[in-house]
Amino acid sequence: MSTSSEPQLAIEIADHVATIRIARPAKRNALSDKLVAQLKRSFEELPAEVNAVVLHGEGDHFCAGLDLSELKDHDVFGGIEHSRMWHSAFERVQFGRVPVVSVLCGAVVGGGLELACSTHVRVAEPSAFYALPEGQRGLFVGGGGSVRIPRIIGFSRMTDLMLTGRVLTADEGQQLGLSHYLVGPGEGLARAQELARRIATNAPLSNYAVMHALPRIASQPMEDGFFMEALMAAITQGDPAAKERMRAFLEKRASKVGDQR
């Protein structure tokens, strides 16, 4: 899935889960434009048998953000186009076909944090640290961070990160919701794959509704949200896969809540 002589992205598929690895460990998995384009294409071209994705970085870091060695001197319009290219790629992660579980360790910084916040479930290891250093470099977030990150931690906390250069630890990130699970050293990938396999067994339409409808409902006025919820409930309940799952539950052929803790 790489168009470069030096692969920057690798993918493996097993048990209906695609494990996508950012493979630039010497650069702390910093994001080049070529890598961002490969990331978008990978999510657009997922094989039909894939029902969930695990996204992680090779080595000690998830992603250190924009590769500043490739930073170009854009004019205003070029800068807008560049940011919109990143938006398009990360939108394919958040609003693609299947849920994405990310593994966060080491640097989750700048564009790396923007990428992480476009995934649906985030598993962190104790080495993870979070920062938005753009303010100290005369920049502004450009990968959707100003939209996604405040919805997780609040805009005032993001303001603090950008103005002061503050670095959050894994424990602080867990408390603020940047991660959903905090596991032991080296345990992130196995935990993420376990979660992804569980997610992959859900009805695809139900997963799709959670990914696409839930964030939109959350940003709507209550009356509009209630109506969209009713529509999505009716659509998912009418799916043949959902009907079969309900029959399995009623006939005691399905596990109960709490059986998979």
- Domain 9-200, classified CATH 3.90.226.10, yes or no: yes
Identify the active-site residue in 6, 91, 134, 229.
134
pTM score > 0.75 for this model?
yes
d(CA 212, CA 96) in angstroms, rounded, equals: 9
What's the confidence (pLDDT) of residue 233?
92
**Of 72, 7, 54, 59, which Cα lies nearest the Cα of 29?**
59
Q: pLDDT, tens digit, for every residue of 116-143?
A: 999 999 999 999 999 999 888 888 999 9
What's the confidence (pLDDT) of residue 4?
42
Average pLDDT, the chain: 91
| pLDDT of 249 over the 70 cut | no
- CATH domain 204-250 topology: Lyase 2-enoyl-coa Hydratase; Chain  A, domain 2 (1.10.12)
What's the confidence (pLDDT) of residue 3?
37
Kindly list the domain boundaries of the chain, sorted by start residue: 9-200, 204-250
| Distance from the Cα of residue 139 to its chain's centroid | 23
Q: Which two tokens stand for residue 32?
A: 């080049």
d(CA 8, CA 25) in angstroms, rounded, equals: 9
Out of 106-110, 160-164, 245-249, pick the least confident.
245-249
Mean pLDDT of 198-206: 94
pLDDT-based confidence at 243, cuts 50/70/90? low
Tell me the residue type at 133: P
What's the confidence (pLDDT) of residue 197?
98
What's the confidence (pLDDT) of residue 69?
78
Residue corresponding to tokens 């564009």: 111
Catalytic site includes residue 44: no
Mean pLDDT of 220-231: 96
Catalytic site includes residue 114: yes
